Amino acid sequence: MFGKDVGHAVGVTVRTEQNRFVSDALIPSKLRCHVGSMLQEVEDYFSEWGQEGTVDLKQELEQLLMLISGQCLLGKEVREKMFGEVLTLLHQLIDNSLRLTTVLFPYAPTPTNRRRDKARVRLSELFAEIVRSRKSTTNQIEEDVLQNLIDARHRDGRPTTEGEVTGLILSLIFAGKHTSSTTSTWTGARLLNNPTWLAAAVKEQERIIEKYGENNITYNILQEMDVLQRCIKETLRMHPPAPSFLRTVHKNFTVRTREGDEYEIPRGHMVASPVLFNSNLPYIYKDPEVFDPDRFGPSREEDRVGGKYSYTAFSGGKHACVGENYAYMQIKMIWSHLLRNFELELVSPFPKTSWKKLVLEPDGKVMVWYKRRRLCS
């Protein structure tokens, strides 16, 4: 889907190398560089809102997260010169790829698959042009993820190819965009539906403003937003964007249930881990239907009760999400800004889950009323 130079189109050795390039580009020391530009995108975006009004939060946050990806992942060429075209193409690629029919019949000659493929080809051309131009410039000082992928080297010293860079950056946008915007919207719906947790999250912002001042956000300050972090984590438990993940069995193994029954799982089989089901097990999560971010607090730590795979919103093992820190960073950046600068109210009913796409998003619009305010310490 992302071209012939990446993912399952290449051998395991190269694929492992490519995973390293991607995870190296998203380590905390690299993420620190994005705080300023991410904050700028968030401030600029919400400065366009009026004094008071009603918006579809889902649509707003989708747009904002695309702008953030444009800035932090793709860099200035896209953000400044071709954002409109890239935005439309990414929308076509992502939207048409996430439909269940596309997932089940990826090669069928359907209009959806044709739109997806056309968008991917054009995006690859655009990104390849940028990669070519950057590779030919010796004194490049960009700090975006694209540049990190261009600068990455295979273990034998080979530089990444144009096809690898374009394929990897497309796969990152694909993996991160819809998951993050869906989670940001669900977080909003959950907070605005829970006055106690909304008040706790606002209080936390007041404390942070008192400690660091009003317009000061750094990577470390984002790490101090513990209440907000737990609200997002709990939202993800209740609304994991990826409801299950699959693994191929490489070695026979045995599973023993709590009741003592044993099942042999043979090599070559495919195992599905249903995240949505796992995160609602009542012997791990007390009253799983209740929004309770305290379950992740130091005295309870329910996400560890059943071992290291109790909480799998970001999957686990070798293919666990490499964008987890980046995702928390952008969602906290957005919600800390909203809580500080707006009174908010959910005016449509609490959203139902849409099961039409691969990523479980809120069904329909999520209408929110806002009024500007200035949070003081």
Which residues would be at the binding site for ligand HEM (CB under 6 A)? 19, 22, 171-172, 175-176, 179-180, 183, 236, 241-242, 245, 313-315, 319, 321-323, 326-327
Is residue 2 within 8 A of residue 119, CB to CB? The reply is no
CB 343 → ligand HEM: shortest distance, Å? 26
- Helix 162-192 vs helix 57-69: crossing angle, to nearest 10: 150
Q: Name the residue number minimizing CB distance to ligand HEM.
A: 323
CB 24 → ligand HEM: shortest distance, Å? 12
Give one DSSP letter per residue of 322-343, joined into a string: S-HHHHHHHHHHHHHHHHHHEE
Residue 321 labelled as part of a binding site: yes
In sign, the C-alpha dihedral spanning 138, 141, 145, 148 is: positive
CB 339 → ligand HEM: shortest distance, Å? 18
Which is nearer to ligand HEM, 70 or 241 (by Cβ)? 241
- Residue 265 has phi, psi (to 5 degrees) of -110, 110
Query: Could you count the other beta carbons within 10 Å of the beta carbon of residue 175?
Result: 16
Which is nearer to ligand HEM, 113 or 179 (by Cβ)? 179
Which is nearer to ligand HEM, 89 or 146 (by Cβ)? 146
CB 169 → ligand HEM: shortest distance, Å? 10
Which is nearer to ligand HEM, 180 or 185 (by Cβ)? 180
Is residue 274 within 8 A of residue 243, CB to CB? The reply is yes
CB 357 → ligand HEM: shortest distance, Å? 14
> How far apart (Å, rounded) are the C-alpha atoms in residues 17 and 26?
15
Which is nearer to ligand HEM, 273 or 348 (by Cβ)? 273
Which is nearer to ligand HEM, 205 or 278 (by Cβ)? 278
Which is nearer to ligand HEM, 209 or 234 (by Cβ)? 234
Where b means 16+ CB within 10 Å and e means fewer, 244-273 reads: ebeeeeeeeeeeeeeeeeeeeeeeeeeeee
CB 361 → ligand HEM: shortest distance, Å? 12
CB 86 → ligand HEM: shortest distance, Å? 16
CB 109 → ligand HEM: shortest distance, Å? 27
Where b means 16+ CB within 10 Å and e means fewer, 349-374 reads: eebeeeeebebbbbeeebbbbbeeee
Q: Are strands 270-274 and 342-346 parallel, antiparallel or unpaired?
A: unpaired
Amino acid at 283: Y
Which is nearer to ligand HEM, 39 or 209 (by Cβ)? 39
> 369 has which bridge partners?
54, 345
CB-based contacts of 367, cutoff 8 Å, min separation 6 = 54, 55, 56, 57, 346, 347, 348
DSSP state, residue 32: G
- Residues at the annotated binding site? 321
Binding-site residue ranges for heme: 321
